Amino acid sequence: MPLGQRSFDNSEARYCGAEVEFSEDIENALTYNLESSFDFIVAPLTNQDFRPSKLKVSPLGSAVPPFAGSDLVLSPAQWSGHVVGKVSSWLDLDSAEDLVRVDSETTLKLELGWAAHLSLQACLLPTPRPLNCGNYARCVNQALQGLAHMQLWLRIPLQSPQMQEAEDTPEEETVFLMRDSITGWPVSDSWEWWNMFRMLCEHHSHLSVALDITASLPPASSIMRWIGEPVRAAILHTSAFLTNKRGYPCLSKRHQNLITMLFNHSVQIVLSGEPLHHLDESDLSPNTESNGNCSEVDAANARHPLKPYLEYIAYLYRRMEPPTEQERFEMSYRDFLQAPLQPLMDNLEAQTYETFEKDSTKYSQYQKAVHAALLDRVSESEASTTIIVLMVVGAGRGPLVRASLKAAEEARRQLRVYAVEKNPNAVVTLHSLIKMEGWEEMVNIVSCDMRQWNAPEQADILVSELLGSFGDNELSPECLDGAQRFLKEDGISIPSSYTSFIGPITASKLHNDVKSYNDLAHFETAYVVKLHNVAKLAAPKPVFTFHHPNFIPGSDNRRYKKLVFELPEDTGSALVHGFAGYFDAVLYNDVHLGIEPSTSTPNMFSWFSIFFPLRNPIYVPVGCKLELHFWRCVGPTKVWYEWAVTAPSVSAVHNTNGRSYWVGL
């Protein structure tokens, strides 16, 4: 039974599982857990005493491994929907003993084959040896090549056992600083174990992570790395729970925040371990009472030893805030690659216009900017005698025209508006709007490319919404440079300036989605993405800034910037799959608009981030700096970006000469 019902939340995080011991009667084991409100079980596929080298062969030459029951004991729907297979934990495929290694290889192949036969959706793999998993990864990678649907969850401790043992002791720093003698990588950082394993498996999309969570947690920035990794499950041990004043299990504030964050990223919780809170049925109350950090939960039915823990997890899930209207709008776009718009080459469709026009926050900011500009442009004493000429370049279906006229009404200033739009389809709607609103005397519609229009008079104010996710990526500089010829020398441009920002991210899903195209071009293309399962490794830095109007003779819109990023030291090492781009714009004076995370405009959805992928992810060791080179190139017919990393390792220059991705002029 799902943990609870939250509006618009249909993620996998609603389902909670239990890790169980091997049982020859898996049908009853599953029934018992389902009746206790668990949604699935993580169950061993074979008896843990099984060793292929000791398997007795019948006189006819056949041998049957001790599987957990026949495939007939459960229906196909039960196997696939309610059972996650658990590969034997004794496996040691990198053992120095040949017999152990061969037995392990044979068992792994046998159990994964059986799991595939049962059509299980996932199988839990045992934790690899720290930075010594070459043969284990090789065998798993072989298995991955033949898997069609099943996911393999690699069990990785969130905090390594070495760090757990050394925590709050004099040895803690020594253990933290331990390095592998060959790779030089931190031995006590469990993320390193995962990173080595997944690189050996070629970043396979069917290989993911199941995090083991105990009482000990690493630093917050270290935990955040995992958000960009393919974490499918979190195995929460009973040892992670505290006891509140009435004897009920609860979690520390840090653990609560962690579980909530995992819920928000569609990670399923699996409860594991022996019950450490022995509650008498007579003491259990059906009421749920919340108090600060530790809240009592309904534990009236405690037949299952892990039921009190399940109820507490369900309580954490149910108390989460429902998604906001903006979050609901964005859900279907999360981590979905979209090609940026080509507004000069292509005419937008009605549906695209409608989506952007719903962004009331954006147009409210524009209205504030126009209002301030009108007041500065014409004094109160001249308001009744002066007509301000305002040109909306790229008027679309008229939202900026409406915002400008509202601003003029509020400011009590007179306007003459020119609405310039190159899309003939949008012009049809624009004419209808002007007629319907009775604006014929104030608004002149011009069906023309702003770069080719010969204006009948000079403008006092030039208003545009040509910004892309990276600020200049939809050619706002080129368009406004062409349009500013009909702006007075002391005229006002809205926006007056904008700056692009960029920062390194871990984004395993995005990397695999780009990789699935199996060509170079897609790794050299920028994508508009609503970033979600992404770890932002360092604060974004400014890249290019453009000012308007720009009357400097011979000015050039080509740009180059070298950026150096430092990851917080307690983050540990990280893998960079690419860079997230943003923008911040000054519309007029102190009125701004943007999506750069530290200054982003609240409740605005017209722009998502832009993603610049790397062909080969860059490993950034702890304490090392990341150096990025970024170019904005301009040719006779197109504008494009090129990018390359030169530290801590060197990448190729991406998108040379705009061979894969460009924006047409």
- Annotated catalytic residues are 465, 474
**What is the rounded CA–CA span in Å between residue 23 and residue 35?**
17
Enumerate the β-bridge partners of residue 562.
629
3-state secondary structure string, 115-180?
Answer: HHHCCCCEEEECCCCCCCCHHHHHHHHHHHHCCCCCEEEEEEECCCHHHHHHCCCCCHHHHHHCEC
Backbone angles phi, psi at 437, to 5 degrees: -85, -10
Q: In the block, which residue shows the tokens 């002029």?
A: 665
Q: In the block, which residue shows the tokens 């009605």?
A: 350
Reference 194, options 130, 145, 267; nearest CA is 130
Evaluated on CA atoms 410, 411, 417, 420, the torsion sign reads: negative
Q: In the block, which residue shows the tokens 């699996």?
A: 270
Give CA separation, 141 vs 122, 129, 154, 197, 468, in Å.
15, 16, 12, 10, 40
Reference 401, options 376, 426, 375; nearest CA is 426
Strands 242-243 and 527-529: unpaired
8 A C-beta contact, residue 67 and residue 111 = no
Other C-beta atoms lying within 10 Å of the C-beta of residue 36: 17
**What is the rounded CA–CA span in Å between residue 450 and residue 459?**
13
Evaluated on CA atoms 97, 142, 125, 134, the torsion sign reads: positive
Reference 492, options 471, 526, 462, 530; nearest CA is 462
Maximum alpha-carbon separation in the chain: 110
Reference 495, options 373, 632, 354; nearest CA is 373
